[in-house]
Amino acid sequence: MPRKNYQIIVYGKFAPLDDDQRAKLLAVADKHDLFQSKFTEEGTLTYERALLTFTFRCVVKADAEDKIDEVVAGAEELATAAVRDLGADVRDLRSVCTDLETIKIKRRGR
pLDDT 10s digit of each residue in the chain, 110 long? 567 889 999 999 999 999 999 999 999 999 998 888 889 889 999 999 999 999 999 999 888 788 889 999 999 999 999 999 999 999 999 999 988 776 665 667 65
Dist. CA 74–CA 41, nearest whole Å:
12
Task: Supply the pLDDT for residue 110.
Answer: 58
Q: Which of 50, 40, 55 is nearest to 92 (CA)?
A: 55
pTM: 0.84
Dist. CA 69–CA 90, nearest whole Å:
19
Task: Supply the pLDDT for residue 44.
Answer: 93
Task: Supply the pLDDT for residue 35.
Answer: 84
Angle at 88 between CA 38 and CA 34, to 5 degrees: 25
Task: Supply the pLDDT for residue 50.
Answer: 93
CA torsion, ordered 28, 30, 31, 36, to nearest 10 deg? 160
